């Protein structure tokens, strides 16, 4: 599922999902008219064409604030305000169509409203439009169009856009490949503490992609990202302490970093942690993390979980788990399954 950029959620409404809750997730209610405004005057202003009043009325109908909850009227006033180029209403309508809240989910319409808000200079709308063009949601894949919107959002200082723009420059996606520019945009995103930017910078120096290979620089970026909580950086620090890239082996530190990444759902870290525990005789812990990776569909996790199950003398389940890995073409699982069947 596409993940849209959302302005921080300052207000939460409990107990009911409504169109307004979608607005609030995007922080749209921050610009609404004061609650002190007289309701009759608000309705009059909305009916006379005041877009800000129309947006406020839409939020009130969605929330049930002084009015009965009425999604039909909420959407009517939201669309009316959006048609008058009220940016927050346009974003609210885009979110409604994106999530199917109060309307039939319609990604093509969502994109149209994101772009209308984007053309007025709203950087998060630019980012969301770029996501849709990049992933082909509501439109054919169009990396050039994605790049155009991302560049505009990035130049306005939106950190996720800066990170993704670095990615597109690095891959040559929608633009001529340029590692130098990729690094520049990744560094801007890193300066705003976007975790994946640290992982990308570390990987560039680790692999020597378009730059001189430099393990020290790579590890510096991984360490900074890991300290900020980025799971990919944490996984890479775990790998480093397993004795990679010139770092002396330090098993406790390796397990600590891999564990942090694994707890955040990083499947590679879960597999590495399971493998490390298995190699050091900690079967129960190995099984826990192998099972987590296996349940996420990773064939290496399935294979390791199968090995643990064999050690725990649960061959029937081991055979089923290994069979799933074998279906995915994982050769070690195929070989182990054949051995089980022979025995």
**Would you give the distance in Å from CA 257 to the centre of its chain?**
21
d(CA 9, CA 117): 20
The CA–CA distances, whole Å, from 319 to 11, 228, 322, 333, 340 equal: 50, 40, 5, 10, 7
Over residues 39-86, the pLDDT tens digits come to: 888 889 999 999 999 999 998 888 888 888 888 898 999 999 999 999
Other Cβ atoms within 10 Å of 228 Cβ, number: 14
d(CA 307, CA 298): 15
Grouped pLDDT means (10 residues each) for the chain, 343 residues: 37 28 43 58 91 91 83 91 94 91 91 96 94 95 97 96 97 96 97 96 94 96 97 98 96 97 97 97 96 96 96 94 95 93 79
Residues in CB range of 311: below 8 A, 6 or more apart: 283
- The predicted pLDDT at position 37 comes to 52
Rounded to 5°, the CA angle 20-22-23 comes to 65
- The predicted pLDDT at position 219 comes to 97
d(CA 325, CA 313): 19
- The predicted pLDDT at position 103 comes to 87
- CB of 92 closer than 8 Å to CB of 116: no
Per the listing, tokens 């061959």 go with 315
Gyration radius from the chain CA atoms: 25
């Amino acid at each position: 599922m596409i993940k849209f950029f959302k302005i921080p959620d300052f207000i939460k409404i409990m107990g009911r999902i409504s169109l307004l809750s979608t607005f609030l997730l995007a922080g749209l209610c921050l610009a609404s008219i004061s609650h002190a405004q007289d309701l009759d005057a608000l309705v009059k202003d909305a009916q006379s064409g005041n877009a800000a009043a129309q947006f406020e009325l839409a939020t009130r109908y969605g929330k049930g604030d002084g009015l009965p909850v009425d999604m039909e009227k909420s959407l009517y006033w939201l669309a009316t305000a959006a048609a008058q180029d009220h940016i927050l209403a346009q974003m609210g309508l885009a979110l409604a169509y994106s999530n199917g809240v109060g309307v039939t989910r319609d990604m093509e319409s969502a994109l149209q409203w994101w772009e209308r808000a984007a053309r007025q200079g709203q950087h998060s709308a630019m980012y969301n439009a770029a996501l849709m063009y990049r992933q082909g949601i509501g439109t054919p894949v169009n990396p050039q169009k994605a790049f155009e919107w991302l560049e505009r959002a990035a130049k306005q200082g939106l950190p996720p856009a800066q990170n993704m723009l670095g990615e597109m420059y690095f891959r040559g996606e929608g633009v001529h490949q340029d590692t130098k520019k990729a690094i520049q945009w990744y560094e801007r995103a890193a300066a705003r503490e976007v975790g994946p930017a640290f992982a990308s910078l570390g990987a560039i120096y680790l692999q020597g992609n378009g730059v001189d290979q430099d393990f020290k620089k790579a590890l510096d970026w991984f360490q900074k990202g890991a300290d900020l909580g980025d799971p990919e950086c944490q996984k890479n620090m775990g790998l480093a302490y397993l004795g990679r890239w010139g770092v002396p082996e330090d098993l406790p530190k390796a397990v600590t970093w891999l564990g942090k990444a694994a707890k955040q759902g990083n499947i590679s870290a879960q597999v590495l942690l399971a493998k490390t525990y298995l190699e050091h005789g900690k079967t129960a812990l190995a099984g826990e993390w192998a099972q987590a990776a296996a349940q996420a569909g990773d064939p290496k996790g399935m294979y390791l979980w199968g090995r643990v199950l064999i050690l725990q003398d649960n061959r029937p389940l081991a055979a089923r788990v290994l069979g799933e890995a074998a279906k995915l073409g994982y050769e070690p699982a195929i070989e182990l399954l054949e051995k089980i069947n022979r025995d």
